[in-house]
Structure 1
Amino acid sequence: MSFLITHAKQAITDKQTNVVIFSATAIALYGYDQGMMSLINTNNNYLSAMGLEGESPVVGVIVAVYYLGCAVGAVLFSKFADTLGRKKSIFFSLATASLGNLIMFVAGMGNMGTKVSLGVMLGGRVIMGLGVGGIDAVIPTYSSELSADDARGKALAQEFQSNIFGLVMAFGINLAVTIALGKWNEWAWRIPIIVMQVYPVLLMAVVKRLPESPRWFIFHDRQEDAKEALNDIYGNEGKEKFDELLEQHEKEKDESVGYFDMLTPSHPHFHPTMVTIMCQVNQALTGYGAVSVYGPQIFELLGFSVRNSEYLTLGNYTSYFFLMTLAWLLIDALGRRHLLIQGSIILASSFALLAVFGGLAANANALDIPIYVPGIIGTVVLFIATGAFGIGWLSTVWLIPTEIFPTTARAQGTAISVIIWGLANFAITFLTPVLFNNLDYFIFLVFAGTNAVAGLWTYLYLPETGGRTFDENQEFFKEAGEQGSWRVSKVAKGEYAKMMYPDPKDPEGGNVDAERVPLLQRLEDQVPSVEE
């Protein structure tokens, strides 16, 4: 009980904890949308109101167009984040998401024709995407700038665990009202939409209580405000943190970086920009955007009925949420590269097995085997694959761009990350129904191959950013330019393939290779004690 009371007090009084809780709740918006649309897509009243057939490609367009809105919102609200501040940008992102959600809710009401209803729904999806894109771009930047160097990964992984909570919550509500009201009842799809309003309304009410990013204050020559924010966040350590940030600002203040600069091969930030782009492309290639949105259809490929597929999807999402605890325990203990590479190996192997079990389920009668055998084994494999994605690939690719750019380019870097995420997921969610209809269970083989490609690229070209300061991570790209190679093994004698960690034998000294610190010690460090 004392443990719970202590940490409840910390959640109320500690500003960094406040930021994590707020950021986690905001990130849950993205997860809620995925879980919300997965069953709305199969609601007969919804399809009728939009004038669509169940297998119409427009169903996929309605889902996918949201991601295009996210891409635009990332640019728009990242610009606001640099000019107006992180907090104001987050507020306007939330307000935009709330407006889009309300527009989706009223689509098809009254005497709207099907064409008007479809247009209103598409408009609502785009507007909500604008807001969520802003949240996904600004929140990781804001959270990272207020986290310690050795806890950035843990903070963001905890936030993305909340993302999965939003997914579970939406799908659970959707499934409950679908069972209670039926697939022909319009409230079975409207209720899950309007419940989403809880997130932006609650967050807009509390955002003013949070500290602004001290890095943003210093970047805008508001040193006194930065000191006040740092003292509010770090207490007695505020003065030391201010001196560090001011020193870093002096190095960066003359830099002016635009999006075109970052996409110019000769520019110093082209290399980190390409790393950011490829991280999001590779995350899309894992196929888990499709699994999240079209979960029930995946289980149907393993031979389950529609209702049992929906129950199993909810179970998969619930397991996903709890397994995400391992993500925030491991990300700062093992490092980003390790989790990504191991995740790719497990995912590629799992999808290859799913192709086998999907094939056995589809041909169970001809092979004279009980259909539940490949179905059950395939379900276990899919649960494992979902956990591997959550632990390895969900939060890491959002964290990396916040760690490899200077303050002058960090908002643009995270915006580019969201843009690529939006475009890649637009393509994946649009194409997945087509792939389902044409490839059947062979779709799993496609994902097995793309996961192998993602893992190989990560091994060759992604530097380990964990346990290093922002300055140290940027040093990798300077040395890569001097070496004339992007291969991690060829830059700085391969030092950036290793995770750095505080040396337990010399707490006041520098970080050491994490392999020199016992894994148990690293894991213990991620779990706060009651005294803390």
Structure 2
Amino acid sequence: MFGSSKPFLGLRGRKLNIAIAAVAGVDMLLFGFDQGVVGGVLTLDSFTSTFPEICTTTVCTAGMSDAAANRQSVLQGVSVSSYNLGCFVGALLTIFLGDRLGRKRCIFGGSLIMAVGAVLQCSAFALPQLIVGRVICGIGNGINTSTVPVWQAECSKSHRRGPTVMAELCIVVGGVALSYWLDYAFSFLEPSSAAWRVPIAFQLLFTLTVLATILFMPESPRWLVLQQQEDREAEALDVLCAIYDCERDDAFVNAELEAVRVVARASTQGTFQDLFTMGKTKNMQRTLLAYGIQVMQQITGINLITYYAATIYENEIGLSGNLSRILAACNGLEYFIAMFPAIFLVERIGRRPLLLVGSVGMALTMAVLAISTSIASNSVNGNTAAGIVAAVFLFVFNTFFALGWCGLPWLIPTELLPLEIRAKASALATSADWIFNFLVVMITPVAFHNIGWRTYIVFAVFNAAIIPVVYLFYPETMGRSLEEMDLIFAKSTGWLDTVRKAKTMPRHFGKNGEVLRDMLPEVREELEVGEEAPKLAAAEASHVEK
């Protein structure tokens, strides 16, 4: 079936799960690296001399009229955020291509497109080529970021899905940190253009790794079942056997396949219009929740810091260029370290507490940043103490964001969305992330130029507004299988009832993946599917997960 007696490079069980996580991790490392790499080179002399029209340092803008300086900031915002606009386009393309191509081929295609964009960027000698390269690179990344979390979640065991996907997002932050330090290391090559060309070209290492490995990995068993073809279902069984390291006649794996099959029978591959219907599966509610959490991630203001940390330290706080780049690199490293607690807490205290704590912390941090930068900017010779406070609280903001909002907005949509629309709705949700990412990155230079420290007040208000939205509308998904979430939404009586239903509905799986209750009868009853199939409880009365 796979063209080899040993599919997936001969890997099974734990080793295969590690391999899947590693391939997804490299792709997410690339995602993070691309987020941060350009922000660290914006103030380099070799970069600004090549692209003087987007330089906003005080040296470049000295003697300019206010209108001319504003044009520089606008053009810088456009140039940097063009990548995010490309990501938005890539995410939209995935809505229509995701279910046709499958998870693996989407990731392969997205990585190939990113490689082309990287080559165009690192070889640019004019701003139009740089922008075109960023857009193309963004399209590939938009496809990948719409697909990798879905592929990862659909190939993961329910009790390990949270830590696994959160670990992948930790790698994203590691990519950001790596880009900052690479930018700083190569800044010593000034005035050679290698100071910025090599860091941008470095992403090719990651794209080529993904291209060389992804096609050897298993396809999502849920996508295979969704094709409703006999050979595809047989392939899905082989994938599950490999993931769980079981034989084809294993009762648990066959019951697991039947649970997925029953959900697939209740629907066919959803159309784009199906994203906005309700009915038993409440597609529209779940699509809007997935879309909304991606919007909220961006309006926290994280990419104000991720893209412009070095610029903020230099232009807004008044530090030297070298010290600004060091602090930006340290900021990225601290951001990466702050992600680790979330990996261990996500399956212990749940998604909702982490989101709420993160939102409260970010709202308060933005308020402190507004106060401290206001004092520093209004002082005649600057206020050293206020500048130090502002510099420190940029680190604090990253800590709260890493704890609650870095990984969960990518994990939760894959858990909330039903199978028949998961690829399309996940891509739509990802497009929200990228268009609002584009908005924030685009307006940040303009906002700092026109309203200065008040920019932080805007984001403080946004973060405060997120708190009641999460509390009222987002159900807890910790420890729930993807099929259990279908039951929770089917049983809920309204938007505000979903949170309560997630708290009160008995669990079907234990903390270690053991089956507590037979899920299939409830799935059939709630989703109106009546065919007979093996029961999970009978098949797995004393199953110990491998």
TM-score (norm 1): 0.85
Task: For 1:49-198, list aligned pairs within 5 A.
Answer: 49-50=50-51, 52-55=53-56, 56=72, 57-77=74-94, 79-108=96-125, 117-178=126-187, 180-182=188-190, 184-198=191-205
Offset, 1:331: 1.1
Q: Secondary structure at the match of 2:39?
A: helix
> Between Structure 1 and Structure 2, how many residues are aligned?
487
Contact 2:226 2:269 in 1 (8 A): no
SS at match of 2:262: helix
- The answer for unaligned runs of 5 or more in structure 2 is 1-10, 57-71, 519-545
Q: CA RMSD in A?
A: 2.8
Letter in 2 for 1:216: W
Residue 40 (structure 1) shift: 2.5
Which residue number in structure 1 is paired with residue 243 of structure 2? 233
Provide the C-alpha distance between the structure 1 equivalents of 2:461 and 2:306, rounded to a whole number of angstroms: 19
Tell me what 2:388 maps to.
376
Q: Equivalent residue for 2:282?
A: 268
Superposition deviation, residue 404 in structure 1:
1.5
Q: Secondary structure at the match of 1:460?
A: helix
Residue pair 2:32, 2:176 contacting (<8 A) in 1 also: yes
Tell me the distance in 2 between the aligned counterparts of 1:25 and 1:277: 25
Tell me what 2:302 maps to.
Answer: 288
Shift of 1:365: 4.5
Post-superposition shift, 1:335?
1.2
CA distance in 2, matches of 1:40, 1:206: 31
How much has 1:202 moved relative to structure 2? 1.3
Alignment partner, residue 425 of structure 1: 437
Q: 2:505, 2:408 → 1: CA distance?
A: 16
In 1: Cα distance, 2:506 partner to 2:363 partner = 24
The amino acid of 1:337's aligned partner reads R
Q: How does 1:310-349 map to 2 (within 5 A)?
A: 310-349=325-364
Aligned equivalents of 1:217 and 1:81: distance in 2? 13
Cα shift at 1:400: 1.2
Equivalent position of 1:7 in the other structure: none
Cα distance in 2 for partners of 1:498, 1:333 equals 18
Provide the rounded CA distance (Å) in 1 between the counterparts of 2:513 and 2:55: 63
SS at match of 1:467: coil
8 Å contact from structure 1 (residues 51, 118) kept in 2 = no
Deviation at 1:495, TM superposition (A): 4.1
Q: CA distance change for structure 1 residues 506 and 249 in 2, over 3 Å: closer, same or farther?
A: closer
Q: Which moved more, 1:93-102 or 1:377-386?
A: 377-386
Partner secondary structure for residue 294 of structure 1: helix
Query: In structure 1, which of residues 214, 220, 226 is the aligned counterpart of residue 221 of structure 2?
Result: 214
**SS of aligned partner of 2:319:** coil
Which residue of 1 is the match for residue 516 of structure 2? 509
Q: Name the structure 1 match of 2:211.
A: 204
Q: What is the CA deviation profile of residues 252-295 of structure 1, one whole-angstrom value per residue up to 9, with x for unaligned ones? A: 23334222331457893111111011101111110001110011
SS in 1 for 2:452: helix
- 2:38 counterpart residue number: 37
- Matched position secondary structure for 1:333: coil
Q: Secondary structure at the match of 1:38?
A: coil
- Structure 2 Cα separation of the partners of residues 168 and 181 of structure 1: 20
- 2:225–2:260: 8 Å Cα contact kept in structure 1? no
Return closer, same or farther for 1:434/1:14 CA change in 2, 3 Å cut-off: same
Q: Contact conserved, 1:94 with 1:131, CA < 8 A, in 2?
A: yes
> 1-side partners of 2:379 and 2:504: how far apart?
46
Aligned counterparts of 1:492 and 1:312: Cα–Cα separation in 2: 41
- In the TM superposition, residue 310 of structure 1 has moved relative to its aligned partner by 1.6
Read off the aligned partner of 2:275 and give its amino acid letter. M
* Separation (CA, whole Å) in 1 of partners of 2:335 and 2:394: 11
Q: Work out which of the residue numbers 220, 235, 245 in structure 1 matches 2:257.
A: 245
Percent identical = 28
* CA distance in structure 2 between the aligned counterparts of 1:379 and 1:499, rounded to whole angstroms: 47
Match of 1:458 among 470, 481, 486: 470
Counterparts of 1:185 and 1:11, CA distance in 2: 48
Cα distance in 2 for partners of 1:35, 1:493 equals 39
**Contact (CA 8 Å) 1:25, 1:199: kept in 2 or not?**
yes
Measured in 1, the distance between the counterparts of 2:226 and 2:513 equals: 34
1:259 corresponds in structure 2 to 272
Aligned to 2:369: 354
Secondary structure of the structure 2 residue equivalent to 1:151: helix
AA matched with 2:322: R
Deviations 1:208-255 (A, max 9, x none): 331221222222221221222222211127642343233332332333
Aligned partner letter, 1:105: C
Q: 1:504 to 1:54 in 2, by over 3 A?
A: closer
> Aligned residue for 1:528?
none
1:416 counterpart (403, 428, 431): 428
Corresponding letter in the other structure for 1:486: W
Q: Could you tell me which amino acid in structure 2 is paired with residue 281 of structure 1?
A: V
CA distance in 2, matches of 1:506, 1:412: 28
The more displaced of 222-231 and 383-392 is 222-231
Rounded to whole Å, the distance in 1 between the matches of 2:154 and 2:13 is 20
Structure 1's 131 and 491: CA in aligned 2 closer, same or farther, altered over 3 A? closer
Residues 497 and 451 of structure 1, relative CA distance in 2, 3 Å threshold: farther
Shift of 1:439: 1.7
- Answer yes or no: is 1:309 the counterpart of 2:324: yes
Relative to structure 1, is the Cα distance of residues 445 and 499 closer, same or farther in structure 2, using a 3 angstrom cutoff? farther
Matched letter for residue 131 of structure 1: G
**Aligned partners of 2:360 and 2:467 also within 8 Å:** yes
- 229-238 vs 395-404, which moves further: 229-238
Give the match's secondary structure for 2:38.
Answer: helix
Distance 2:441 2:122 in 1: 22
For structure 1, the 5+ residue unaligned runs are 1-9, 109-116, 512-531
Q: Distance in 2 between matches of 1:273 and 1:503?
A: 27
Q: Counterpart of 2:233?
A: 223
TM-score by length of structure 2 reads 0.83
Which stretch shows the higher mean deviation, 37-46 or 343-352?
Answer: 37-46
Does structure 1 retain, via aligned residues, the 8 Å contact 2:113–2:140? yes
Deviations 1:116-151 (A, max 9, x none): x22222211111111111110110000001111111
Q: Matched residues in 2 for 1:315 and 1:237: separation? A: 49
